[in-house]
Amino acid sequence: MSIRLTIMDQMAQVAREHGKALAPLEDDLALLDSGLDSLGIAVLVARLEDRLGVDPFTTSDDVQFPVTIGDFVRAYENGAR
Amino acid sequence: MARAKALSLRHHIENAPASQFFYDRATTIRVGDLNQGTSLNGRLAELAGRSVLIATTSQLTSGLALIELDGVARRIAILPPDVDPAHLGALIANAEIDAVVVDGESSALFSNVPLVVTCTPQIIPDERVPAAGPETEWVLLTSGTTGVPKMVVHSLAGLVTAIPPQKFSETVVWATFYDIRRYGGLQIFLRAVLGGASLILSSAGEPIDNHLGRLEQHGVTHLSGTPSHWRRALMSPDIGKISPGYVRLSGEIADQAILDNLRVAFPNSSVGHAYASTEAGVAFAVNDGLAGFPAAYFEGVRDGVEMKVVDGSLHIRSPGTASRYVTAQSGPLLDADRFVDTGDMLEQRGDRYFFVGRKGGIINIGGLKVHPEEVEAVINRHPLVRMSLVRSRQSPITGAIVVAEVVLKPASQQPPQESEVRDDILKLCRDALPRHKVPVSISFVPALAVAATGKLARRG
């Protein structure tokens, strides 16, 4: 599964667990408008670290915190390289 | 609060029944032999009036030294086996230790102490007993995990306040998974000594199956330990060998799952859990088989004990509390009204109060607070779970999130699919807890570390 698909899959999973409805996940959608709140995103980041072996927001100091879904996915794609 | 001076331990064993024994793995001691004998090679008189550190390796020799020294020494400080040797210098200086009791070779750590006396696990005849001095101070160490342990000052009168007066009984055989050099274990030691009962002690490094075998051999009737001790014991195939009439838990939160598991394992036993701490003493026991305790316990004075909740934390005032710390740097132990703040956090549900965790153990998840113990209590409800540890994991979003490690019970038939059990546990958590308290991940581990204090080892 690609990094992008893994992220989308986990977002859907976390949303289900938290009883939230996900918005259509376009790249320019703000992360906080996706339907996940900050706790949901914290859970998502932890799950992704377990699956992808990387947490791009903790491992590097100079990573900008992601605003949009596209930023979020790119942080992982860059972190995996 | 003025306290009556208690009879010394030596007085309590004057009428020791001939059938009262202390057992450890290697030795059996008839307690009454101390009435005309000594385990200190006749050197008790040299220890009179001194501030004595009991630093033996075995629990048995510690127990014998306690009986001989109470009422003779000015102060007895009891060294638990797991104290970091790096802290010994500070402990010796702060408690003004001028004599040490050991049971093997003396250590270089004691080279600056003027008197070192050896205690042996045998009693040699000796009729001489030094004249009783002023009431002996008992100094116990707290079980904090970092820094120099605090030294807590008790009197024997305070230590035994929660022990009901009992007729000497030849049928009671106590045992404890605790070390008697910690508050919880010392309570069991004192119950045995005051009650004329035998006591089965564990030996350092003794495997649980060996220990359980000895409990069976000596016919244990009363057995005490922390919930973590009990969870570990319940994992032993030999647990079925023993059938104590009384099963006691203290030292950690007894959740409903462990109480239910013990009731199933020991259908003919009464199962009770008690609340005590080194500083606050024994506050109460609960014998109705339910977790938590009745809210009515806060009404008035019960057995000399008064309790109140301040900012969620249990405060206790009783004749069983310690009087102070040995050193002023440790801070005041009692507040102006002589209450001890236990730091154990309570939550009221209906007409019962439940312990939810430690004041300092809170995990902060983006401003929302979680006690690891409240999540563990929910996970432990799952019928396949033996024990669990909840801890924080760093999160770049909320600072921390909750993760869990789980030990499953041994599979009786077909081992369950881990993923199914994980889903079941998460469903339990989601049904019982707000979202931020639900573990983000659950990992299955073969075992969880239990510290020398009998409590689940919690990492930072």
Per-residue pLDDT reduced to its tens digit, B201-253 = 998 888 888 999 999 999 999 999 999 899 889 988 899 999 999 999 999 89
CA B94 vs CA A70, B69, B97, B148, B159: distances in Å? 62, 20, 8, 11, 22
Nearest residue on chain A to B393, judged by CA atoms? A46
Where do the domains of chain B lie?
A: 9-349, 362-444
The reported pLDDT for the residue numbered B145 is: 58
Q: Which residues in A lie closer than 8 A to residue B396 (C-beta atoms)?
A: 42, 45, 55, 57-58
Contact B356, B374 (CB under 8 A): yes
- Is residue B5's pLDDT more than 90? no
Q: How many domains does chain A have?
A: 1
Provide residues of B within 8 Å CB-CB of chain A.
Answer: 365-366, 368, 393-398, 401, 403, 426, 430, 435-436, 438, 440-441
Give the C-alpha separation, B238 to B216, whole Å: 10
Rounded Cα distance between B251 and B232, Å, is 15
Q: Give residue B452's pLDDT.
A: 80
Phi, psi of A23 (to 5 degrees): -75, 160
CATH number at residue A14: 1.10.1200.10
Kindly state the tokens that stand for B224: 């005490």
pLDDT in tens, B405-453: 999 988 766 777 888 999 999 999 999 999 999 999 999 999 998 888 8
Percent of chain B with pLDDT over 90: 76
Q: pLDDT over 70 for what percent of chain B?
A: 96
Task: Tell me the pLDDT band of B144, cut-offs 50, 70 and 90.
Answer: low
pLDDT-derived band at B19 (thresholds 50, 70, 90) equals very high
Q: Give the pLDDT of residue A64.
A: 67
Contact check, Cβ <8 Å, B441/A38: no
Name residues whose C-beta falls within 8 Å of residue B116's C-beta, 6 or more positions apart in sequence: B99, B100, B101, B102, B106, B110
Averaged over B140-165, what is the pLDDT? Answer: 88
Q: What is the pLDDT of residue B20?
A: 95
At B459, the pLDDT band (50, 70, 90 cuts) reads low
Q: Is the model's pLDDT at B1 over the cut of 50?
A: no
CATH number of B362-444: 3.30.300.30
Task: Judge whether residue B146 has pLDDT over 70.
Answer: no
Q: Do B401 and A47 touch (CB under 8 A)?
A: no
pLDDT for the residue B3: 46
Nearest beta carbon to residue B398 from set A38, A47, A58: A38
Interval B320-332: pLDDT, tens: 999 999 998 888 9
**C-beta atoms of A42 and B401 within 8 A:** yes
Q: Give B132's pLDDT tier (boundaries 50, 70, 90).
A: confident
* B273-288 confidence digits (pLDDT tens): 999 999 999 999 999 9
Give the pLDDT mean for B63-85.
Answer: 95
Q: Looking at the domain covering B9-349, what would its CATH class be?
A: alpha beta
Fold identical between B9-349 and B362-444?
A: no
With CB atoms and an 8 Å threshold, state whether A38 touches B396.
Answer: no
Instruction: Specify the pLDDT at position B7.
Output: 85
**Could you tell me the residue range of the domain that residue A61 belongs to?**
3-79
| A·B CB contacts under 8 A | 42
Q: 3-state class of B108 per DSSP? A: helix
> In whole numbers, what is the pLDDT of chain B averaged over residues?
92
Whether B233 contacts B175, CB under 8 Å: no
Using CB atoms, which residue from B396, B398, B403 is nearest to A39? Answer: B398
Q: How far apart are CA B404 and CA B440, in angstroms?
A: 8
- Testing the interface with B: which of A36, A43, A48, A72 to mutate, by most B Cβ within 10 A? A43
A11 alpha carbon, distance to own chain's centre: 7
Residue B391's Cα: distance from chain center in Å? 23
How far from B196 is each of A72, B13, B34, B180, B387, CA to CA, in Å? Answer: 70, 7, 13, 17, 35
User: Looking at residue A70, what is its pLDDT?
Assistant: 93
Amino acid letter for position A34 = S
Angle at B333 between CA B330 and CA B337, to 5 degrees: 150
- For residue A42, give the chain B residue with the closest CA: B397
Residue B207 amino acid letter: P
Angle between helix A3-17 and A69-79 (nearest 10): 130
Q: Which residues of B touch A41 (CB under 8 A)?
A: 397
Q: How confident is the model at residue B362 (pLDDT cuts 50, 70, 90)?
A: confident
Distances, alpha carbon B361 to alpha carbons B231, B249, B358, B430, in Å? 22, 21, 5, 22
Regions of chain A with pLDDT less than 70: 59-64, 80-81
Contacting residues for B148 by C-beta, under 8 A, at least 6 apart? B87, B90, B91
List the helix and strand counts (H, then E) for chain B.
Answer: 10, 27
Rounded CA separation B188/A45 (Å)? 48
